[in-house]
Amino acid sequence: MPDPGEGLTEGEVVSWQVSVGDTVKINDVLCEVETAKSIVELPSPFAGTVAKLWAEPGETVAVGEPLVTIDDGSDDQREDEPEFLVGHVTQDSGRRRRRRSGAAVSAQRAPEKTSTDVPAPAPEKKADVEPVVEQQSSGIQQPARQDPPRMDRTEHVLAKPPARRLAADLGIDLSSVTGTGPQGAVTRSDVKAAAEAGQGGARDAGVGAGDAEFAALSVTARRLLGGAPTEPDGHTRKVPVHGVRKVTAKAMKDSLDTKALVTAFLTCDVTPTMELVDRLRADRRFKGLRVSPLTVWCKAVCLAMGRTPVVNARWDDATEQIVFRDQINLGIAAATPRGLMVPVVRNAQDMTMLELAEEITRIVAIAKEGKLQPADYTDGTFSITNVGVFGLDAGTPVVNRTESAILVLGAIARRPWVVGTGDDERVVPRWVTTMSLGFDHRLIDGEEGSTFLHDVAEILSDPASAMLY
C-alpha cells in the first residue's frame, strides 16, 4: 500500500479491477482505494501477471503492507527478498530489476530514504499509456486532470468508476442494467433506477436494495443502515468511526478547543444578485457551467476582503503571531456521498466571474465523485458553506482549524421587504436571505467582522457597488 500523503496511514480497498491470473501493463488500474479524504485508483508500476491479491474489498490495509503481487517473469529475484508492493520496491531490488522490453522506465529514481521502501520509478510517457500526473505529497499516480473521465469495461459493461462503485454498494449486477450514457455506458442514475426496480437483490441482510427509500440514501447512510443489529437488545448497532467522519470529528474538536469563536448575523435583500444570476445563466459564455448565487458570493467575498484583510489571515499558535496572506483560497463546503468535503478554489482573488464559475463547476464535480486529491482540499484560507440548500435560514458554523472565518449562506426566499423612503415607502416581495459569519475573535474584532459582513451584503444588494471596492 503506497503512502497517500497528508499524514494518512491506511486505505480501504473499495474494489479490484484485476483478478489473479490477469495480465497487466504499466499504469493499468489495479484497484480503487478509499482513504480518509478521497477514493483513488492505484496504477500498476510493473507489467506482468497478477499472482496474488492480499486484501478483499472492504478490508483496510496499512501503508507499507502487501496489497498485490505481480509476477513480471524475471528470474533474478532472490528467494529471501520481500515481495514487491504496489508503488514500492526495496532499494536493492529496485537497482537489480531488469527493464521489461517495450516498457521504458525513467532513468531518474527517487532519492534514497532511511526507510526500506521508496516510491517506484515513474514510467515515461508512451503513446499507448494514459498520461499521468504524480501528487508531490504521495506516491500515488492519478490520471491527468485534463483528460476526460475514464470509463472501464467490466465484464463487457461500459461504466465509469462512480457507477460501478454504486452498483457494488447496492448489490446491482451491472450486466443487467441498461445504460443510457454515452456509447451505452451505465450511469449512476441507471444504477439507482435498477435498484428502485428491485434488480440485483440486497447487499446486506435485512436491507432490501429494491427499497426505493434505501436506494435513494447516500453511500454513507447505506453503510450505517446495512447489516444486522450488533447490540443484544436487537435495536441498536455500533458503527466504527473512520474515513471522512473521523477526520471531520477531530478537526471540529480541535477548532473548538483552540479558537474563540463568535457568530454575526445579517439579513439583506439580494434581489439584484438573483437578477444577475439569471443574466449569467443566459449568457452563452456560461453555458454548461455551475452558475448559482454562490458564484456571486465568492466574488463578493474576495472584494470585501480587500477592505478587511484580517478575515483572510490566520493565528499562528506556535509564534502567537497573525499571519496575513495575499492569496485567497476559498473552501467550498460540499455534501458528498462520502460526507462533508471542502474543495478549494485557489487564487480566487485573481478570477473573473466566468473563471470562478468554471473552477467551482470543476472542483465540485470532482468532490461529488469522491475523487478529490490532497491538492484539491488543502491550504484553504476562508470557507463558504450553504445551508440554504437544506432549507435553513442561518447557522453558527465551526471555523476550519487552519482558517479564521467562515461564511454561512441561508435560504434565499421571497419575503415582504420595505423599499423606498418617505412617501415612496412601501412593502414589496423581494429575494431575501440571512448570512452568518463565524470568526475567531482572537484576531478578528467585532468591528472588523461586522464590516466584512456588511460589505458582502452591500455588494449582493447592489452588484454595481462592487465598482467601489
Residues annotated catalytic, as ranges: 441
Quote the CA–CA distance of 408 and 271 in Å, as a whole number.
18
DSSP 186: B
Tell which residue, 339, 422, 433, 337, has the closest CA to residue 394. 433
**What is 71-110 written as a DSSP string?**
E---S---TTSPPPBTTEEEHHHHHHPPPPTT--B-S--P
φ/ψ bin of 368: left (φ > 0), alpha (ψ from -120 to 50), beta (otherwise): alpha
> What is the C-alpha to C-alpha distance for residues 163 and 193, in angstroms, rounded to an integer?
12
DSSP state of 388: G
Determine contact, residues 91/110, Cβ cutoff 8 Å: no
Contact 71, 49 (CB under 8 A): yes
Q: What burial letters (b/e) apply to 330-362, b meaning 16+ CB within 10 Å? A: bbbbbebbbbebbbbbbebbebebeebbbbbbb
φ, ψ (nearest 5 deg) of residue 113: -115, 170
Burial of 86 (0-12, 13-18, 19+ CB in 10 A): buried
| 175: helix, strand or coil | helix
Contacts of 375 (CB under 8 A, 6+ apart): 135, 137
